[in-house]
Amino acid sequence: MSQLLKDKAGNDASAADDVLSEFRPRTELGRRLAAMRAAIIESGIPLLNDEELAREIAERRGGVYDSESK
């Protein structure tokens, strides 16, 4: 799903806002995640694509990310 959001959003903050305007959360978790995404976009921090996200997770878990295995 993150690739879908990234494809729709690209790297453009205004396009990312379009993703949030189309998203209708049905749960409290969805509302919280949408609010966090909006806060990140507003702060100017770039969104991560799938590969960048996998690398970030691996680094935080103390592992090494292998881009060839993905």
Q: Mind listing the pLDDT tens digit of every residue in the chain (70 residues)?
A: 454 444 444 555 566 678 888 889 999 999 999 999 999 999 999 999 999 999 999 999 988 767 665 5
* DSSP secondary structure letter of residue 55: H
Q: What is the dihedral of CA 44, 40, 47, 17, to 10 degrees?
A: -90
pLDDT at 30: 94
| Domain limits, the chain | 2-69
Sole residue written with tokens 């990234």? 6
Please report the sign of the dihedral spanned by the C-alpha atoms of residue 19, residue 53, residue 69, residue 10.
positive
